[in-house]
Amino acid sequence: MGMTLTEKILAKKAGKKEVQPGEIVTVEPTWVMSHDNSAAILLKFKKTGVKKVWNPKKIVIILDHTVPAPTADYANNHKSIREFVKEQGIENFWDINTGICHQVMAEKGYDLPGAVIVGADSHTTTPGAFGAFAAGIGRSEVAAIWATGKIWLRVPESYEIIVNGKLPKGVFAKDLALHIVGDVTASGAVYKAVEFKGETIKDMTIASRMVLTNMSAEMGAKNGIIEADEKTEAYLKTRARAPYEIMHPDEDAEYERRYEYDASDLVPKIAFPHTVDNVYDIDKAEGIEVNQVFLGTCTNGRVEDLEIAARILKGKKVNKNVRMLVFPASWDVWREADEKGILRTLAEAGAVIMNPGCGPCLGAHAGVLADGEKCLSTANRNFKGRMGNPNAEIYLGSPATAAATALKGYIADPREVL
């Protein structure tokens, strides 16, 4: 019996000829990633009694969640992380002037085909866009890897998600992701490997593919994955930090479930409060007034996302009743968007350009909502209290929908302004 892409990667890493779903394998990850939560992880590591981390070259720490530090507690956390990094000789440390961890992992060449990447963040599924097995794990697990270099994993069953057809005007990867999450549901793929394939996926940019694997977590998936191809190799040509191996699923691989979609049938989508799978066509949301528009995050803060928003807002003004916050996903994105005039266009339209980072996504930094306020966000989650206030409401949409909404003052169809 053939193996899926996820099974092949885990078998290779475990030193086995083949693995089966449900089997337990022990592997040494290619990279283990953490962010501001490293302050809590290092305390757990110290409790193990181990003095030195197993391999300072394999540990990646990226400060992004609350940058720059908004409180003394966060500042002290950052200080303890910097001291630990120095003490342990950890080479792959990225401070507050780099970007969101999942974007930085891609830009700095950690996201490699065939790699096993684990991280103390649920959206560590993102590197699957490069043909890697990538999954979120707990803080205690990260501490254990720092100490031993090993983690055991249950080989997940695989779902096959096949998408063909051309995305219509005004419809983007985010709309497709929301459509799939709405269909599969938030608990429909718990601990499954979700393998995306089809002509629509092949035609996508790397940035758009990252949207799909990033949001695999919103189905409950253990990991999301896309076969690496020539676009992957072109992206990694000057970035890859280590040799890599492109793997492919066997033709006779067995999948537990298959979903098929025709992209040409899609329309812009909106996830209503307070769950990501509460998804409707945009016509059900049109006219809902918002107070804030949030463009950015590890889901939709890349150059192509800012660019489509700038195209819609060029020469126009953000509605006077709306605050539009723009958080580029990294400083590399910020610089490229600046060079292309994108940030200037957004600023002239009335958007507030913020420093790269997670910002208000988790409700711990700039852009927290007030009681009764509504926000249209390009993030990946809209749980109650997600942006810092349980008395606010969050709607999720694409960057184009965000820009159209900022322009109108209410949730608007981007096809009308493109």
Q: Please state the residue numbers annotated as binding site.
A: 298, 358, 361
Alpha-carbon span 121 to 32, nearest angstrom: 11
Alpha-carbon span 256 to 66, nearest angstrom: 39
CA dihedral 77, 81, 82, 84 (to 10 degrees): 140
Buried b (16+ CB within 10 A) or exposed e, 177-202: bbbbbbebbbebbeebbbbbbbebbe
* Cβ atoms within 10 Å of 214's Cβ, excluding its own: 28
What crossing angle do the helices spanning 206-214 and 173-184 adopt, rounded to 10°?
Answer: 20
Which single residue is written with the structure tokens 């890493």?
13
Alpha-carbon span 106 to 127, nearest angstrom: 7
Classify residue 11 as exposed, middle or buried by CB count within 10 Å of its CB (0-12, 13-18, 19+).
buried
Alpha-carbon span 14 to 278, nearest angstrom: 38
Residue 184 corresponds to which amino acid?
A: V
- Determine contact, residues 232/130, Cβ cutoff 8 Å: yes
* CA contacts within 13 A on the Cβ side of 254: 8
Annotated binding site for [4Fe-4S] cluster: which residue ranges?
298, 358, 361
